[in-house]
Chains A and B, each alone.
Chain A
Amino acid sequence: MRSGHRRSIARLITIVENDELASRQAVANLYADTGKAHIVGITGPPGSGKSTLVNELAKEFRKRSCRVGIVAIDPSSPFSGGALLGDRVRMQDLSGDSGIFIRSMASRGSLGGLAKMTGNVVKILDAAGYDIILVETVGAGQAEVDIASTAHTTLVIEAPGMGDEIQTIKAGILEIADILVVNKADRPGSERTITALKVMIHMGAPAEPDRHHGKLAATSENNSDNMEDNATSSKTAASKGDHSPWEVPVLATVAVKGEGVSGVVDQIQAHKRFLMYSGEWQKRELARSRQEIGQLLQAEFVKQMASAVPAAEQEALIEAVAERKIDPYTAVNRLFAHAADQAWNRLGSG
């Protein structure tokens, strides 16, 4: 896998998706080799042209000599558990290029738009030496928040005339987007969408120094200057050892024609420079690690608890709560005490 052998990478991804125990071992082995890749999350409503844009971004990154990993996530059917993973259809241009690896994943019941194992799949591609990892997911519900905590750079894509009135563009986008893209910009209504987004960015919450994503400029008159600002400010920041806040650019693209794509890649690269020179990269890595440990701890804890207390006893407690014989907090305290006793006994006898 480390030498970039693609079958090994693919096999390892399958193991991580299916086998939790093997997954732990795999991650333990490769973790030291992760942390180099620039992870870019791409989210937006269905039909906005995400896969087409990902295809174009990958081509442009390849022109700039970057190896690209792509993880394309589609929802699993809640009824059958199956999934139709059709993102590759839009990425035909990328076939035959050994510097690109595309993997389709089904969400498998995760509600947030990311598959539970997305993080581990990204780690595999990172360790295998891909410089840029594009993670594409349908923006629905919690998805934006999920992707923002997995990626270094979050790109949100919208398309005009999707039936979204401007007012219904979710406020959440502005919280997490580092880069906003209005695709299908040759369609009527795109100017309105672009303007509305720029206005919303400027009217958004005032800039806070510890803001996790999308630092908003306190004063900025013309958003179209943001692109040059970001590109030059991150370069001058390199020499000055200082940073101005990141100003979220709103970019217009026509992905099927490849228009505007080069500008998006410029901004992605500028954002990485910004993260590096401002110390934000380390901050985000800390936040990502904190979140991952929290999630794993929670899952592990629940698992340990479930096995420490006999199922019959758990059921009895649950019934007691349903019948209002005890309240939920008391029930949990009892479960916890029981589990702690078991742990104590194990320690004593072990």
Chain B
Amino acid sequence: MDQRKIRVLVAKPGLDGHDRGAKVVARALRDAGMEVIYTGLRQTPEMICEAALQEDVDVIGLSILSGAHMALMPRIMALLAENDMSDVAVFIGGIVPNDDIPQLKEIGVLEVFGPGTSTANIVSAIREAVLGESVL
């Protein structure tokens, strides 16, 4: 096991209360050897940024099922930039219409994982983003 651990913040911003998906992903990332800081429900953009900063995470994974992504993401990305954390890889998992994905990527979101994405794909996407390795 290499010493360098990938640290991932998993959070659910906004008022969305369904966290089973987030928990499944959190466990999968742990099983892939990552250290997952799980902050749970009802996170504000400020709370997410503060936690990411204190925990010095490599990755932020946001679970959004409520359709509030366009309202939340610009604020989150702006806060990260303000705090000199634009190098943190940001992923979204959940229900996001395809039409919104280009806009999200434009503000800095790396990937959007829709329903049915395998956890293996999420793990390799994270590893590639953080370590630059491509997993075949």
Contact = CB atoms under 8 A, between A and B. Distances in A.
A101 B54 contact: yes
Contacts of B27: 84
B118 interface: no
Contact of A7 (B35, B36, B53): B53
Contact of A83 (B3, B30, B46): B30
B83 interface: yes
* Interface bin, chain B: 20 to 34
Contact of A88 (B7, B34, B39): B39
Interface string A155-168: 00000000000000
Interface in A71-128: 76-77, 79-86, 88-89, 92, 95-96, 101-104, 106, 108
Contacts of B20: none
A14 B3 CA distance: 12
A6 B47 contact: no
B76 to A, nearest CB: 14
B9 to A, nearest CB: 9
A102 B26 CA distance: 20
Interface string B89-105: 00000000000000000
Contacts of A11: 56
Contact of B5 (A10, A79, A103, A108): A108
B52 to A, nearest CB: 9
B56 A82 contact: no
B31 A106 contact: no
Contacts of B85: 7
A89 B38 contact: yes
A82 B34 contact: yes
B81 interface: no
Given A6-B54, A18-B4, A96-B50, A106 B39 contact: no
B49 to A, nearest CB: 10
Q: Is the interface of A mostly helix, strand, loop or mixed?
A: mixed
B74 to A, nearest CB: 20
A7 B38 CA distance: 20
A80 B119 CA distance: 15
A13 interface: yes
Contacts of B3: 18
Contact of B39 (A7, A81, A89, A108): A89
B1 A81 contact: yes
A14 B38 contact: no
A83 B50 CA distance: 21
Nearest to B36: A84
Contact of B84 (A7, A14, A92): A7
Interface in B57-96: 83-85
Contact of B36 (A79, A85, A103): A85
Contacts of B40: 86, 89, 92
A125 B113 CA distance: 37
Contacts of A76: 35
B33 A103 contact: no
B37 interface: yes
Given A18-B3, A80-B31, A104-B55, A88 B46 contact: no
Contacts of A88: 37-39, 51
A164 to B, nearest CB: 27
Contacts of A77: 30-31
Nearest to A17: B5
B15 interface: no
Nearest to B84: A7
A13 B53 CA distance: 11
Interface of B: 1, 3-5, 7, 26-27, 29-40, 42, 46-47, 50-51, 53-56, 83-85
The 6 lowest CB-CB distance pairs between A and B, nearest first, are A82-B30, A81-B1, A10-B56, A89-B40, A14-B56, A82-B33
Given A10-B55, A84-B30, A86-B40, 9 more contacts: A7-B83, A83-B35, A84-B26, A85-B35, A85-B38, A88-B37, A95-B47, A95-B50, A103-B55
13 contacts: A7-B83, A7-B84, A10-B53, A81-B5, A82-B5, A82-B34, A82-B35, A83-B30, A84-B30, A84-B36, A85-B38, A86-B40, A106-B5
